[in-house]
Structure 1
Amino acid sequence: MVVDEPTAPRAALDSRTAPRVLVVDDDESVLLTVQGVLELDHYEVLAVSSGARALELVRSEPFDLVLTDLRLEDVDGIEILRALHTKSPDAVGVMLTGYASLETALGALRQGAYDYLVKPCDVLELRTTVGRGLERSRLASQLRDRVAELERANATIQALNAELEQRVQSATAALRDQVSTRDEFIATVSHDLKSPLTFIKGIAHLRRRRAPDTPQTAPLLDALQQIEGCAGRMADQLDELVDASLLEAGEALELRRAPTDLVALARQSVAEHQHTTDRHALRVLTSEPAIVGTWDELRLARVLDNLLNNAIKFSPRGGTIDVCIELDADASVAMLGVADRGEGIPEADLPHIFERFRRGENVQGRIPGSGIGLFGVRRIVELHNGTIEVESHLGQGTLFTIRLPLDSSS
Structure 2
Amino acid sequence: MVIDEPIVSGLIAVARPVARILVVDDEETVTFTIQGVLELDGHDVTATTSAETALELIRTQQFDAMLTDLRMDDMNGIDLLKELHSVSPDSVLIVLTGYASLDTAVEAMREGAYDYLVKPCDVLELRTTVTRGLERARLAAQLRQRLEELEYANETIRALNLELEARVERATAELRDQITAKDEFMSTVSHDLKSPLTFIKGMAHLRRRRAAPTPETHPLIDALEQIEASAGRMAQQLDELVDASRLHTGRPLDLRRSHVDLVALARKAVAEHQHTTDRHALHVSTRLPHLVGVWDELRLGRVLDNLIDNAVKFSPRGGAVKVSVGAENDGHAVLCVSDRGEGIPEADLPHIFERFRRGGNVEGRIPGTGIGLAGVQRIVEQHHGSILVESRVGVGTKFTIRLPLDGSTAR
Q: List aligned pairs for 1:33-112, cutoff 5 A.
A: 33-99=33-99, 103-112=103-112
Partner of 2:292: 292
Contact map agreement 1:62 1:87 (CA 8 A) in 2: no
Partner of 1:141: 141
Partner of 1:188: 188
Unpaired stretches in structure 2, ≥5 consecutive residues: none
Q: List aligned pairs for 1:205-244, cutoff 5 A.
A: 205-207=205-207, 210=211, 212=213, 214=215, 223-244=223-244
- CA offset at residue 356 of structure 1? 4.0
Write the deviation string for residues 207-251 of structure 1: whole angstroms up to 9, x where unpaired.
55636464x766655554443333222211101011222344565
Partner of 2:367: 368
Change (3 A) 1:321 1:90: farther
Q: Which deviates further from its counterpart, 301-310 or 216-225?
A: 216-225
Contact map agreement 2:256 2:296 (CA 8 A) in 1: yes
Amino acid at match of 1:233: R
Aligned pair count? 402
Secondary structure of the corresponding residue to residue 198 of structure 1 = helix
Amino acid at match of 2:242: V
Q: Which deviates further from its counterpart, 95-104 or 165-174?
A: 95-104
Q: Which deviates further from its counterpart, 149-158 or 285-294?
A: 285-294
- CA offset at residue 91 of structure 1? 2.4
Partner of 1:399: 398
Matched, 1:281 2:281: yes
Structure 1 stretches of 4+ with a deviation exceeding 6 A read none
Contact map agreement 2:333 2:403 (CA 8 A) in 1: yes
Change (3 A) 1:101 1:197: same
Change (3 A) 1:153 1:340: same
Q: List aligned pairs for 1:200-349, cutoff 5 A.
A: 200-207=200-207, 210=211, 212=213, 214=215, 223-249=223-249, 252-330=252-330, 332-346=331-345, 349=348
Partner of 1:160: 160
Contact map agreement 1:197 1:231 (CA 8 A) in 2: yes
- CA offset at residue 196 of structure 1? 2.1
- CA offset at residue 346 of structure 1? 4.7
Change (3 A) 1:46 1:324: farther
Q: Which deviates further from its counterpart, 357-366 or 376-385?
A: 357-366
Amino acid at match of 1:50: S
Change (3 A) 1:129 1:224: same
Partner of 1:20: 20
Amino acid at match of 2:192: D
Q: Which deviates further from its counterpart, 102-111 or 26-35?
A: 102-111
Secondary structure of the corresponding residue to residue 99 of structure 2 = coil
Q: Which deviates further from its counterpart, 359-368 or 217-226?
A: 217-226
Partner of 2:114: 114
Amino acid at match of 1:405: P
Change (3 A) 1:27 1:363: farther
Q: List aligned pairs for 1:351-390, cutoff 5 A.
A: 351-390=350-389
Question: Identity of paired residues, percent?
Answer: 67
Change (3 A) 1:26 1:324: farther
Change (3 A) 1:289 1:222: closer
Give me the whole-angstrom Cα distance separating, in 1, the residues matched to 2:391 and 2:50: 93
TM-score by length of 2: 0.86
- CA offset at residue 105 of structure 1? 4.9
Give me the whole-angstrom Cα distance separating, in 2, the residues matched to 1:307 and 1:345: 14
Q: Which deviates further from its counterpart, 363-372 or 218-227?
A: 218-227
Give me the whole-angstrom Cα distance separating, in 2, the residues matched to 1:305 and 1:100: 103
Amino acid at match of 1:326: G
Give me the whole-angstrom Cα distance separating, in 2, the residues matched to 1:323 and 1:79: 98
Amino acid at match of 2:115: D
Change (3 A) 1:111 1:21: same
- CA offset at residue 81 of structure 1? 3.7
Matched, 1:177 2:177: yes
- CA offset at residue 396 of structure 1? 4.2
Partner of 1:32: 32
Write the deviation string for residues 27-56 of structure 1: whole angstroms up to 9, x where unpaired.
111111111111122222111111222223
Give me the whole-angstrom Cα distance separating, in 1, the residues matched to 2:316 and 2:77: 100
Contact map agreement 1:54 1:80 (CA 8 A) in 2: no
- CA offset at residue 97 of structure 1? 1.5
- CA offset at residue 294 of structure 1? 1.3
Contact map agreement 1:9 1:128 (CA 8 A) in 2: no
Change (3 A) 1:317 1:53: farther
TM-score by length of 1: 0.86
Contact map agreement 1:201 1:232 (CA 8 A) in 2: yes
Matched, 1:131 2:131: yes
Amino acid at match of 1:388: I
Give me the whole-angstrom Cα distance separating, in 1, the residues matched to 2:262 and 2:362: 31
- CA offset at residue 101 of structure 1? 7.5
Amino acid at match of 1:255: L
Contact map agreement 2:81 2:108 (CA 8 A) in 1: no
Give me the whole-angstrom Cα distance separating, in 2, the residues matched to 1:382 and 1:244: 14
Partner of 1:199: 199
